[in-house]
Structure 1
Amino acid sequence: MKNKDNQKDSFQKQTQTGDTTRCGDKSKSKLYKLFEEKEQSNFEYFQKNQIDAPNEIMQYAIIEGIGFNKDEILCQNEFLSFFNIGLEKFYCWTPSDAEFSLLVAKVDPIIKKEKLWKTSTSIFEIAFALSSSLEMILEFDYDWIYNFDSSKKINNQKYLKKREETLGYKNIYTHHKFGELASLIDLLNRDDKFFIACQNIIAAMQNHAFCQICALTPEHLKEHSNQEPNIWERVSLIPKMESAIVQATRCVEAILGKPGDRKIPLKLERVKERWRRNVLIDPDEEFKLGEKSFLEFYYDLFTLRGYASHSLGNLSYQMQRCQTIEAQSFAWVLIKDYYKKLRMKNEKALITLNFNYDLLN
C-alpha cells in the first residue's frame, strides 16, 4: 500500500509541476508576444516619422539628469516657461505621474543649419562643474519626444530613445540654483574661448583627478593631500597625467594663445598686452603653487606640454604628479580670472536669458 501511495504522490507532484511549467511557458509566451508587438509598433512608427531631431514633430526633449522638487508653486500638468539659451527655450513641466518636476527644452530645428551646435546640455555640464570647483562633473542629455503634449502623462509620450537607453538618474535642484548660474551660463553661451577652455579643464580633471580646492590652499589648511602616486601606481597614471597636461595647456591656449619668443622684447611685450587684455592677474605676479611668476609658468607650461605630448614610445620617468597638478591649477586660476573679467552681472544675465522670476522667487 505504501508503494502505491508513494507512486500516487509522485505522479501528482509531476502533474502539478507540469501544469505549473505549462502555465509559466504560456505567461512567458504572452509576455514575449507583447514585447514583439511593441517593438514592431515602434519600428513602424520610426519608419513613418523622422528621427533626425530636432524637427517639426520632435522639437521637445526632457533634459535627462535634471529634476526639481515638486513644491507649492507647481501644479500637476503645469508647463511653465523658465529661461532661454539661444534657439533653445526651457520649461518646467510637472507631469502627474512623475516624482519630480522636469526640465524640458524646445529646440528650433533651424539650429541644425549651424556649423556646430553648442548644446545647452554641454553648457549645463560645464556650469555645474565650475560652480563646484570641478568636484562635481555630471552628464546630461536630450530625451526627444514625438508630438509632445504636456497634458499627457510622462509614460504616455512617444520617445525617440528606448527607455533602457536613458541616463536613468536625476540630480534634484531648486529653480533658484539655475538662477544663481545665470552669469556663468550666459558667458559659456556667448564666448567660445571660455567654453573651449572650460571643456578642456574638465577633460583634464577626468583624466587626472585631485582636489582642486586643496591644491590651491595653504598646506596647513588642506583637507586632502595630493601626494605622488605609490610606486606600483605610477606607470598606470603616467598617460593620464600626460593627457591632463596637454588639456590644461589647451585650456590656457584658448584664453591667452601660444606665447611668442620671450627673448625678443617686442614679442614679450605683445604677450603681456594680450595677457592683461584677457585676465585680471598681473603676469609678473607670483603663481605660488609653481613658485615662479605667472608669466614664467606660462612659458614653462608649453615646454612641459611638449614633453607630455611627444613621448615617442618612451616611458616618462621624469613625469611627476606635482607637475600635473600645477599645470591644471594654473589653467583653473586663469579660467576663474577670465570669468571675473568678462562676466555679466547676474541680475543682467537673468534678463538676457529671459528667466521666469515667478519660478525663481
Structure 2
Amino acid sequence: MNQSAGDFDYAFTIREGFFVCEDRSYKLVRELPPRFVEDVRAQLGTRATIEKRGACIEVTSQRFLLAPEPVMDMPFLRDSLASIAESHGLRLLVAGTHPLGTSTESPASERRDSGERLADLRIVEQAQQTCGLRVQVSIPSGIDRVALMNRSIPWLPLFLALSTSSPFWNGSLGGLLSCRQARFDQWPYGGTSDFLARNTTALELNISDACTRVEDSVAIANLFRCHVSALVRNFQAGADHTPRTYAIAGENRSRAKRDGMDAQFISDDPASTVSVRRLLARFLDSLETEIARFGCGPILTTLVDIANAGTSAHEQLRIYERSRSAGHSHHAALESVLQWLTLKVPGRQIGKTSRSAGALFDAMTKAGFVTAEAVGHR
C-alpha cells in the first residue's frame, strides 16, 4: 500500500438524476429541447450529463473532501438546473421512476439508431427511463479493489432501503417502493453483482434511487464514504463472506425494493431476521470511528429522520392515499404526488451542519433504535 489508509482523504462525488417534464401535464418530454440543452451546457458545463435519448439529465458534484461541502454544492446544482428548466417552460422531477412512466416515450422499434442490442431487448428498453443516486469514493492505492467491492455487497440493500423513491410505474401503483430496481431486473445483467472488475480508482454506489430530498442524498453519500473507509481500515470485516452471503444480499435487496425501511432483512442466521431500522443503528455504531473522523454526525441525523418518517416513496404513497381518501380520482391523486415531487426539486440550505457532534447519537436515542452495544460503551 503506497499511502496509509489512515491518512487518505476518501474524496467523494455525488451524481443525481432528474426527469425533465412538461410544465402543466407533468409528463416526460419526448426529447430534451435543443435550447434547453444549450443553456444547461453553458451554465453547468461538464457537470451536466445529458442523455442521448429520453428525458433524463444528470448533474455531478465537485470532488468533496469535507463532509459539509455537499450541503452547499448540491442545492446549488439543483437550483441552477431548476431555474434553467423553468426559463424554458419545463419542470424537474426527482424520483427513481416517473409516476406516469413511459406514456410519452417512443417504442424501441421506432428508433433507427438503437442498434442490434437494444433491438433484441426492445421490450425492456424503457427501463432506461429511471433516475438514480450515484456516489463515488476514492480508494487508497494498493488496495485489493475486488475484495473491497465484494465485501461491500451485503450492505447495499440498506442503501437501497434508505433511498426508495419509485412506488409508481406507468401511471399505476407498482406494489414496490423501488420500481426502478424492478426495471433493472429485466435486464440480463440486472440484480446484485457477484464479481467486480479491478481496474478502478474508486468504489461507486449505484443501487440507490434518486432522492427527492437533497438532504437525503447528502446523508447517504456521507454514509457510503464512512462505509468505504471502514472497509479499508478493517480489512478482515467481511473477509469470510461465502456464496451464501451474496444469496442473502440478493434476497435482502428484493425485500428492500418491496418494503424499504419497513423491511425485515435476513441475517447471517437464515432462521432469524433483523429490521432495517435496527440494522441501520448497528451500522452507524460500527462506523463510529469514521463518523468522528469525517465530522459527519450532524449530517447523518437525516438518516434517523428517514427511519422515523420514511423515504420519498413513503411520502408519495401517503400523499396518494390522502387524496384518494378525500374522494379524488386516481389521476388527481397522482397529480398531487407529481406536484410534491416537483416542488421538492429546488435545493435549500441544509441546516444540520450546525448541530453538535453528538447530535447523531442523541437523535438515535430519542428515536429508540440505539443498539444495546452502543449504549454500553458510551
Q: Do both proteins adopt the same fold according to a TM-score greater than 0.5, normalized to the shorter chain?
A: no
Which of structures 1 and 2 has the larger relative contact order (alpha carbons within 8 angstroms, sep 6+)? 2
